[in-house]
């Protein structure tokens, strides 16, 4: 009985590689780092690691979530929004919301995708806000912060 319990414990504690297909490519990924949520900001994975479907997104644009010495890691379909990845030394194969983007809350209290200079360019979930009848034009972001989302102007009615 003791041997069976030890075997089951060893079996459950071992990390197995998973296999998946993404955009026509079949790959093995590391179970230890894949399909997980990472919330600390000093992650490091060994060279050659394939990370699939994990979450690294942050609230602040270009947040450094990986150690500088991390090299040779492949990220497939991971949420890397607002997470800085050294793409010269690591590979990012973007997921369903490709490409990963930087965004920031603007004065209208909504998340906007930002360009390299930190200027808003496109409202995140634009279709959702349009469907609710709200304005989605970047030029209409107020100069001073709103105190409530209910203050966001409704879109002008169509003629």
pLDDT at 153: 81
pLDDT at 14: 37
pLDDT at 56: 93
71 vs 74: CA distance, rounded Å: 9
Task: Name the stretches of the chain with pLDDT < 50.
Answer: 1-16
Residues with Cβ < 8 Å from 44, sequence gap 6 or more?
A: 66, 67, 69, 70
User: Buried (b) or exposed (e) across 41-76, using 16+ Cβ within 10 A?
Assistant: eebebeeebbbbbbebbbeebebebbeeebeebbbb
Strands 63-64 and 83-84: parallel
């Amino acid at each position: 009985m003791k041997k069976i319990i030890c075997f089951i414990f060893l079996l459950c504690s071992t990390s197995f590689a998973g296999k998946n297909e993404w955009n026509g490519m079949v790959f093995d990924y590391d179970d230890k780092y894949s399909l997980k949520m990472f919330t600390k900001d000093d992650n490091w994975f060994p060279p050659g690691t394939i990370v699939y479907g994990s979450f690294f997104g942050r609230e602040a644009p270009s947040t450094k979530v990986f150690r500088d010495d991390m090299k040779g890691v492949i990220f497939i379909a991971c949420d890397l929004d607002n997470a800085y990845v050294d793409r010269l030394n690591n590979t990012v194969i973007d997921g369903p919301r490709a490409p990963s983007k930087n965004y920031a809350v603007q004065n209208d209290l909504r998340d906007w995708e930002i360009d390299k200079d930190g200027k808003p360019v496109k409202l995140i979930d634009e279709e959702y806000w349009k469907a609710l009848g709200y304005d989605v034009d970047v030029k209409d972001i107020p100069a001073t912060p709103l105190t409530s989302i209910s203050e966001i102007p409704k879109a002008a009615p169509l003629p």
